[in-house]
Structure formats: structure tokens, C-alpha cells
A and B are shown apart, each in its own frame.
Chain A
Amino acid sequence: MAEIAEGGGGGHGKGKKRAKKSSTRVDMTPMVDLAFLLLTFFVLTSTFSKPKMLPLAYPAKTEDKTLKGPKMNNGITFLLSENKIFYYQGEYYFKGHAAADGSITELKEVDFGPGEKGVRKLLGKLNNYVLVKKQGLDEKLKRKEINDSTYLSTLEKLRGEKEALKVLIKTDEKALCKNFIDLVDELKIAEIGVIAPVDITPGELQLMKEKLKN
């Protein structure tokens, strides 16, 4: 195709020799190609969200097998299996070691969702004491009545109080890491300070197996 002449309209005639005017425009197409190539490369290869870490303190290992854990007054135990989550409140009672009213522990099921049957609702209800107090603290912080470090230390203390919920996590051999982290995450959302992943007892395992069957 013929190129359309640009500019140089006049200037004919009179026979004066002039140096040919070369266009001041540079063909930018290759550069643009390259720029977009690089752009595509970086867009596709870059990952934005930097990984974060979720701290979790495990109970120290003791050789002393006779040592019993602290009595759980305000505790809940979660039992994890593959994508399933069961819980019971308080101490574990079984036949031969029943509660004062003769009842034994029964497992209840919740799911990982935020819905009505979800673990978040349950924890929100049970750890209401801490959550309500935390809201008060949040407002104080907003009104600048307390500074950041006092806020954090008060919150830390609040989480460890007697009325705050304490959580034990036990897993069977089928539970996935995702399930575990999801649960710990929910516990952090519910501002639970004491989280202890511990070994499951054969009795609890049996109870969970029966529950999984139906």
C-alpha cells in the first residue's frame, strides 16, 4: 500500500537542493511489543499476598505421665476428623467415670462455616465474656483513652482470665492440616487465649468413630 505523504507539501521548484527531511517520528511498535511482553510476564508471575504466619504455642512435653492437665472449668474440647468437627464442653465423662448427675459425654457436631450451625457462632456465644469486654476496649482505643500497648496488654490479660473460654484440640488420624488451621483461625477470631492441641484418648476416638458412622 502506498504511504500517505505527510508534511512536506510545499518546497518544490526553484531547484534548490535540500537535504531530505527524515521524519522525526520513530517507529515505536517493537518497543511497545517489548513493553507489553514484559508487562504480561510480570503480571502473570507476581504474587501479591505475602504469606503470613499464625503463631501457636504447644504445651511443653513432660516425661511425667502421671501429671494431669489443669481441671477444665470453662473449657471446650474440639475433636477433628477429615472436614468434620465435633465438640463437647467441660470434662470428659465416660462409663465408670460419669458426671455428678450420671450423664456421660456426648459429642455434638458443628461445621466450619460462619452460619447458624457454624463453629464461629458457637464460639461467639461461649466466649461472649471476652468478646463483650474487648468491644469496650476497642471503643476506648478509638476514643484514644488508652494507647496501643495498654490495649494489647489488657487484651492479653483478658484472654487469660478465668471466665474466658479455654480450648483443647484433638485430632484423629484422618484430620487434614487445613481443618486444623481453620479451627485455630476461628479460635483466634473468637479471641481465645488458651489453645492447646493435645493427644486424643482412645475413648474419645471411639466416640468420634461412632458419630462418624451415622
Chain B
Amino acid sequence: MPKIKIPKSSPSIDMTPMVDLAFLLVTFFMLAASFRASEPVTVNTPSSISDKFIPENVIMVTIDHDGRVFFNLSGEEARREMLTNMLGKYKMKLSDEQIGKFTFMSTFGCTMQELPSYIDTGADDRITFQTKGIQVDSTTNNELYNWINFANVAALNTGKTAFEEAKLNGENPKADDFKPKFILRVDSKTVYKKAEDVINVFRELNLNNLNFITSSELAPIN
């Protein structure tokens, strides 16, 4: 009697397509992801319909929801120049190692007095660093004013060199593209008065064209 044979199927499944897909996705996400430098504050920015990208050369002031002020300038050369000027102004000295560390730091927020110990703190511990942020209010010792002022000078210098370089390379650059942009990164829950204090510092320096960082949102269809 012939028995009906049930074909033996292998219990192992061919995983190749799944692996293909998995690696495809891994590659995609790896390439699409951009890594951010660790920031000492988390800020939830409000949203707007604006579609302007943030340029390379920026001077950024961050205000967290408690109103603490943080500062950032892009470019290592510019940062070094700014710090040297700032140390000269406040008659302070930092070791070469500390200056080197500072140039590679991203956003920072501390008073000038706290600066050496702030630099020595590890990048991950800066989140818990007890500070009131950069001093804004006192009119006699407005540290933010000096930071912005020196940052602007330094950023204009590096922008100029970049502009000349682009010119030499035979491109047709616009001088305005190499000037620093002034950016405010505010938390949604920051009281506007706190932001206004910072804005007034910019205005005192006659820097009136400011930009707010926002996450993008869809424009309404009319």
C-alpha cells in the first residue's frame, strides 16, 4: 500500500530577504542620521512655517525655560579668537589645554568666574553643572554683551577669509552669505521677557536682524 507522503519542509526559513531589508534600513538610517554635539540644555523650540535653513556661520544664544542664557559660536578659529579677547577683557588666564577644550565645546553657559571649572567638567556632566548661565541683566558687567561683541568680530574675520578664499577659487560668492547670522533658540515655555533681555543686548550692539530657531510645521493651504 502506497502511503501518502507529506513533503518534509525544512523548519529553517530563508531569512535572506529579511536581512536584505534590515541592512537596507540600517544603511538608510545611518546615512540619514546626523549626530548632534551634546548640549548642556534641552530646549523644545516652538514651531513655525518658515523653511529657511540654518547657515554655517552662526552666533547662537540659547535661553532655556528657566531663563538661563547659553551661548554658542560656530567655527574653531573664531571661538579661539573670541575667547582670547574675552580673557583679555576680564584679565583671566586659561591653560592651553583649557583653551583647546573650549574651542571644541558646543553651547556653553556660565559666568566668566565659573569658566575654568566649567571647561574642566566633562561634556556629559555639564548638564548638571550648577550655574545661572551667562550674566545678562547687570548693566555694568554685561557678560553676554561682551561675548556677542567679540563673537561678532571673530565671526566677521573668519567669514572674510572664507569669502576671499571662495573668490580665489573662482566662485562668485556673496559677501552677505559669509557674515554671521544671529540666532535665538528659545524654549516654548520661556517667558518672552527673558528673551527680550537678550534681544535688547543684540539691539544695543546694533544687531537688529535676528532669527528664531523653530521646528518646521506645515503651512496652511488656502
| Interface set of A (CB-CB < 8 Å, partner B) | 4, 6, 25, 28-29, 31-32, 35-36, 38-39, 42-43, 45-46, 48-61, 80, 114, 120, 171, 173-182, 184-185, 188-189, 197
Looking at chain B's contact residues, is the secondary structure mostly helix, strand, loop, or mixed? Answer: mixed
Q: Is the interface of A mostly helix, strand, loop or mixed?
A: mixed
The one of B11, B23, B32, B51 in contact with A48, judged by C-beta atoms closer than 8 angstroms, is B32
Chain B positions 7 through 40: 1 when the CB is less than 8 Å from some CB of chain A, otherwise 0 = 0101110011011001101100110111000000
Instruction: Given the known inter-chain contacts A173-B193, A175-B191, A189-B49, please indicate yes or no for A56 contacting B211, CB distance below 8 A.
Output: yes
Tell me the smallest distance from the CB of A6 to a CB of chain B, in Å.
6
The CA-CA distance from A60 to B186 in the complex, in Å, is 21
Number of A-B contacts (CB under 8 A): 158
Residues of chain B whose beta carbon lies under 8 Å from any beta carbon of chain A: 8, 10-12, 15-16, 18-19, 22-23, 25-26, 29-30, 32-34, 45-54, 63, 181, 183, 186-193, 195-196, 199-200, 202-204, 206, 208-217, 219-220
- Give A46 to B26 CA distance when docked, in angstroms: 12
Collect the chain A residues with CB atoms within 8 Å of residue B215's CB: 49, 51-52
Query: Looking across the interface, which residue of chain A has its beta carbon closest to that of B181?
Result: A53
Contact B52 A52 (CB under 8 A): yes
**Are A35 and B23 in contact (CB-based, < 8 A)?**
yes
Q: Are B191 and A54 in contact (CB under 8 A)?
A: no
Cα A118 to Cα B216 in complex, Å, equals 21
| Residue in B10, B19, B188 whose CB lies within 8 Å of A32 | B19
- Min C-beta distance of A49 to chain B, whole Å: 5
- Besides the contacts A28-B16, A32-B19, A39-B26, what 15 more A-B pairs have beta carbons closer than 8 Å? A4-B11, A43-B29, A48-B32, A51-B54, A51-B213, A52-B216, A53-B54, A53-B181, A53-B214, A56-B211, A61-B206, A114-B220, A177-B186, A178-B188, A180-B192
